[in-house]
Amino acid sequence: MAKAQPFPAVPPTQDGPLSRLRNALLLLFAVLVAGAVGYHLLAHLGILDSFYMAVTTLFTVGFREMGEVTTYTKLFTIFYLVTGLGVATYALSNLTALLLEGDLRGYLMERRMEKRLDELKDHIIVCGFGKMGFQAAWELKKAGIPFVIVEQDETKGRSPRFAGELILYGNAMDELILRKAGIQRARGLITALTTDADNVLVTLTVKQLRPDLPVVARSAKLGTERQLKAAGADHIVSPYEIGGRRMAALLLKPEMMNFFDVVLQQEQLELGLERIAIAPDSALVGQTLREARLRHATGSLLVGLVHPGSGLQFNPSGDERFQAGDELLVMGPADALEILTRLAQGT
């Protein structure tokens, strides 16, 4: 079963698998060269025959002896076998360990992950891979949004749902880990660690590195929203508060909750709710809602309108005029929202 590939927090050291592999091969090559030089000088063999004798002698194959077999040649062969065989065995054992124990494979995998992280941009960083972080990452995956998971517990992140995804194992409060996760190129961060204190520290660290980065923080206990807000969290989510409100609303206003379920569960009815900005070169600029006829032109329904510097207007009138920088709150199928997005962007 495929597993999500972890990316270690500690960078490769000088004594990494590739360095060990290179040293083992160089050591083995040096032994063979020394043997070839000895047979070339003592047995008066050519270059190819000298290497042939060095290899067959070192690996105790010994098909036949070549060249002049003198007393000096015999003594050299004895010395070459005693010293060279030990060195060659050490080099080959290191080479075998690298190939069989998976050190080399793991190192190459880490390098590929590091390259993917360096190329990643406009992504979301998810700190914490517990129940809430898992669900947040899963929603991002379904929406096709690139993301990086930062988790300290290396036993997590083995779900087949996240096979091949970027999982960075380390402390989310560490600046080096956040930089490695591409915080300077990210579009947002979700901190869903176990304790509120950890989420506060992550938010403080993030805001020091990227003051403009939107942060969504989890609040495990009621009353900690103030600390998270003071730390710089842009949005605070309390799962217990949201769960309690929903449970009560399902009894008090079941029809309204069913409506929201229709909007949020896009994978079932392909109905989405989006916030779309109007670019300066869009054809919508200067038109009224009545003139634009968005529902007829795109198939999407305009729910609200936000002018720059003003609040959200629900169900705006037909005389309201679009401006550059406006944000449209619209609802509709995915293809209709795509058409409206291109229209608003002027493409």
Q: Please tell me whether residues 232 and 340 are part of one structural domain.
A: no
Q: Please tell me whether residues 230 and 125 are part of one structural domain.
A: yes
- β-bridge partners, 312: 306
- In-domain check, residue 259: no
- In-domain check, residue 113: no
Per-residue pLDDT tens over the stretch 269-314: 456 778 889 999 999 999 999 998 888 888 888 888 998 888 888 8
Round the average pLDDT of the chain to a whole number and report it. 82
Q: Please tell me whether residues 170 and 211 are part of one structural domain.
A: yes
- In-domain check, residue 37: yes
Tell whether the model's pLDDT for residue 48 goes beyond 50: yes
Q: Please tell me whether residues 166 and 70 are part of one structural domain.
A: no
- In-domain check, residue 115: no
Q: pTM of the predicted model, to two decimals? A: 0.57
How many domains does the chain contain in total? Answer: 3
Tell whether the model's pLDDT for residue 21 goes beyond 80: no
**CATH code at position 47:** 1.10.287.70
Domain boundary among 100, 129, 148: 100
pLDDT band for 7, please (50, 70, 90 cuts).
very low
The pLDDT assigned to 13 comes to 43
**CATH code at position 317:** 3.30.70.1450
The pLDDT assigned to 108 comes to 66
Tell whether the model's pLDDT for residue 326 goes beyond 70: yes
Q: Please tell me whether residues 132 and 188 are part of one structural domain.
A: yes
- In-domain check, residue 1: no
**CATH code at position 126:** 3.40.50.720
% of the chain residues with pLDDT over 90: 25
Tell me how far the alpha carbon of residue 64 is from its chain's centroid.
Answer: 57
Domain span at residue 234 reads: 120-242
